[in-house]
Amino acid sequence: MKKVIIPGLAVMALLTTSCNKKENTVIPATSEQKIPYSSLSSSTSYFSKFVDDNGNSTVDFSGQTTRTMMFSEIDAYIKTGTTGTLSAVKLKNMFENKNNPFSDASLNSATDKVISAKTAQSFSATNADAERQVFLGYFAELERISALNGQTAEQGKAGLLGGKRLVDEKGFEYAQFIQKGLMGAMMLDQICNVYLGDDEQSADNTITVEGKNYTALEHHWDEAYGYLTKNEVYPMKDPADATKYLESYLGGYVRQVTAAAGGDPEGIFLAFLKGRAAIVNKDMATRDEQIAYLRTNLEKAVATVAVSYMNKTMAESDPASRFHELSEGTGFVYALRFAHNAKINRVKSDELLNILRGKKDGFWSLTNADLENVRNQIADAFGIDKNVEVNH
């Protein structure tokens, strides 16, 4: 029997190999650096550096760009709550991409791109659902208080504060809780825990994905990059105005944590470049070094921004400015739970949020001593200068 079966299997294996060759390109292992690390710099184009044998870019993170565009539409819609009544149903539909909620038709047709599914995705199913419910709760509050935008907010009274900030009776600006919260729950989590995580980084790196010119592992790395920026270099200045940058959301804030504030945006970009080159070079040790660097420095950047907001809040006496800064900072305190190292984990984050929001009158009765308490705990956890202020 063996003499009959073995040749048959051999023929089948040959046919299978032949079939795969039509669908995929086999990428040979090599001990040489196909992309020398010394060729990478802060001006290296992420798009044009990683190319196939025909010179075509192998970078594709269109799905991340699509979700960022959805995020942007949600953000823009929430801002209309200062002049009109928001719909919690519409916000939920935008969060879940149901019932054609976006003004951009291409987003409605991208039915496989859903923000809610990518929110707290690395958490257990139960905990992920709890985090998603947080945002749904914010949507309901926005609908309620946006109907009161014709009145002036004061302690115990929702409305517009300073003529432009929509807050509830406790001074909470939910627009900021949502915006900064999603930077952590979607963007930071997707980068550090999902795409740079063990599952995605165990993907195949020997053949190209069917119909594509990149391997699955290369693609996962690019998807992580796509949640930080859509640009070919990071951070990218506006060609029309050198005083401005083209970064937004998480990438926009990480950029602001410069070396003077203890950050390293250029180093983060170089780590993305080097990690991608390491995948091409089949150098997993170097790739893993970049993952560790990115996780540590992205988390530290978010923590630095949170500390900065606490400091800026303490310097403000006008309630409209003070509560706006504090709402942004509160959103970043929440975002910290989604970091990979999570020095401020879910439990600790809830503890700090309770200090910030747990008083009977909320922000109206919060003292600078309360803010110092939160600030110091974050700064101590990360070894950050307590007095740091970022130019945001």
Torsion, CA 284, CA 54, CA 223, CA 108, rounded to 10 = -160
For the ranges 23-32, 60-69, 138-147, 222-231, the lowest mean pLDDT is seen at 23-32
For residue 20, pLDDT over 80 is answered with no
What kind and span of H or E run contains 275? helix 265-280
What is the average per-residue pLDDT within 220-244?
97
**DSSP strand E in 121-260: where?**
159-161, 165-167, 237-238, 241-245
What is the average per-residue pLDDT within 304-309?
98
Task: Using DSSP, state whether 240 is helix, strand or coil.
Answer: coil
For residue 21, pLDDT over 50 is answered with no
Measured between alpha carbons, how far is 216 from 70 in angstroms, rounded to an integer? 25
Measured between alpha carbons, how far is 56 from 254 in angstroms, rounded to an integer? 30
Between the CA of residue 374 and those of 86, 161, 275, what are the distances in Å? 32, 24, 35
What is the average per-residue pLDDT within 385-390?
96
> Would you say 217 and 209 are in contact if contact means Cβ atoms under 8 Å apart?
no
Give me the percent of the chain exceeding a pLDDT of 70. Answer: 92
Is the bond preceding residue 235 a cis peptide, omega within 30 degrees? yes
Pairing of β 165-167 and β 159-161:
antiparallel
pTM, full prediction? 0.92
Closest of 378, 328, 371, 341 to residue 182, by C-alpha: 328
Question: What is the CA angle 133-225-287, rounded to 5?
Answer: 115
For residue 4, pLDDT over 50 is answered with no
Q: For residue 30, what pLDDT band results from cuts at 50, 70 and 90?
A: low
pLDDT in tens, 155-198: 999 999 999 999 999 999 999 999 999 999 999 999 999 999 99
pLDDT in tens, 34-90: 999 999 999 999 999 999 999 999 999 999 999 999 999 999 999 999 999 999 999
> Would you say 168 and 105 are in contact if contact means Cβ atoms under 8 Å apart?
no
Residue-averaged pLDDT of the chain: 93
Beta bridge partners of 238: 241
User: Length of the chain in residues, anyone?
Assistant: 392
Measured between alpha carbons, how far is 246 from 252 in angstroms, rounded to an integer? 8
Predicted confidence at residue 23, as pLDDT, reads 55
Q: For residue 347, what pLDDT band results from cuts at 50, 70 and 90?
A: very high
Residue of higher predicted confidence among 27 and 302: 302
> Would you say 297 and 305 are in contact if contact means Cβ atoms under 8 Å apart?
no
What is the average per-residue pLDDT within 260-287?
98
Contacts of 343 (CB under 8 A, 6+ apart): 299, 303, 336, 381, 382
Q: Which residue has the tokens 């439990």?
A: 347
Sequence-separated contacts (24+) of 193-198 with Cβ below 8 Å: 193/121, 193/122, 193/338, 193/340, 194/118, 194/121, 194/122, 194/224, 195/220, 195/221, 195/223, 195/224, 195/227, 196/221, 196/224, 196/291, 196/294, 196/295, 196/340, 197/122, 197/340
Task: Using DSSP, state whether 198 is helix, strand or coil.
Answer: coil
Predicted confidence at residue 311, as pLDDT, reads 98
Predicted confidence at residue 44, as pLDDT, reads 98
Measured between alpha carbons, how far is 292 from 294 in angstroms, rounded to an integer? 6
What is the average per-residue pLDDT within 112-131?
98
Task: Using DSSP, state whether 22 is helix, strand or coil.
Answer: helix
> Would you say 301 and 263 are in contact if contact means Cβ atoms under 8 Å apart?
yes
Measured between alpha carbons, how far is 365 from 323 in angstroms, rounded to an integer? 11
For residue 24, pLDDT over 80 is answered with no
Token couple for 391: 């130019």
